[in-house]
């Protein structure tokens, strides 16, 4: 597997972020890559992706898990069925993990791509009041940008 193209990940904190992102991607006709926050794990991300796929069955949705330098977490994520991982550990470990990922039909990134962090894009005082429509508009703008 290669990363979906265009590859414009959106960092989410939950389903309330993921569904507006999916609505934006669906209306734009573009694949969606949802990135988990650092505190979330593979099973959490898989669950969010599954719920988004149920809500938008025609949309191509991929979960991206940042495993940092933790090779064990990357292997666990592959076992959990995730197909796109970010690993920033030792190059020799990255090579091994990339081979394992490829054998499972998954992809391993070694550098973090540009992302839209919905929490950072929303002022702190407005985070509790941010509407799905506002999040969808942010995502639509992000997905439409040329990221070269």
pTM (2 d.p.): 0.89
pLDDT digits (tens, 9 = 90+) for 55-96: 999 999 999 999 999 999 999 999 999 999 999 999 999 999
Annotation: CATH topology of 10-144: TIM Barrel (3.20.20)
- Confidence band for 39, pLDDT divided at 50, 70 and 90: confident
Among the listed residues 108, 49, 44, the one whose alpha carbon sits nearest the alpha carbon of residue 74: 108
3-class state of residue 63 by DSSP: strand
Distance CA 83, CA 105 (A): 7
């Amino acid at each position: 597997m290669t990363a979906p193209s265009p590859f414009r990940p959106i960092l989410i904190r939950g389903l309330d972020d993921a569904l507006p992102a999916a609505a934006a991607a669906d209306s734009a006709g573009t694949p969606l890559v949802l990135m988990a926050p650092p505190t979330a794990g593979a099973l959490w991300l898989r669950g969010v992706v599954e719920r988004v796929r149920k809500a938008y069955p025609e949309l191509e949705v991929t979960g991206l898990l940042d495993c940092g330098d933790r090779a064990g977490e990357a292997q666990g994520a592959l076992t959990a069925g995730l197909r796109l991982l970010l690993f920033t550990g030792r190059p020799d470990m990255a090579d091994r993990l990339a081979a394992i990922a490829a054998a499972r039909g998954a992809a391993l990134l070694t550098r973090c791509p540009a992302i839209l962090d919905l929490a950072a894009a929303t002022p702190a005082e407005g985070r509790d009041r941010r509407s799905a429509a506002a999040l969808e508009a942010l995502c639509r703008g992000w997905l439409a940008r040329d990221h070269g």
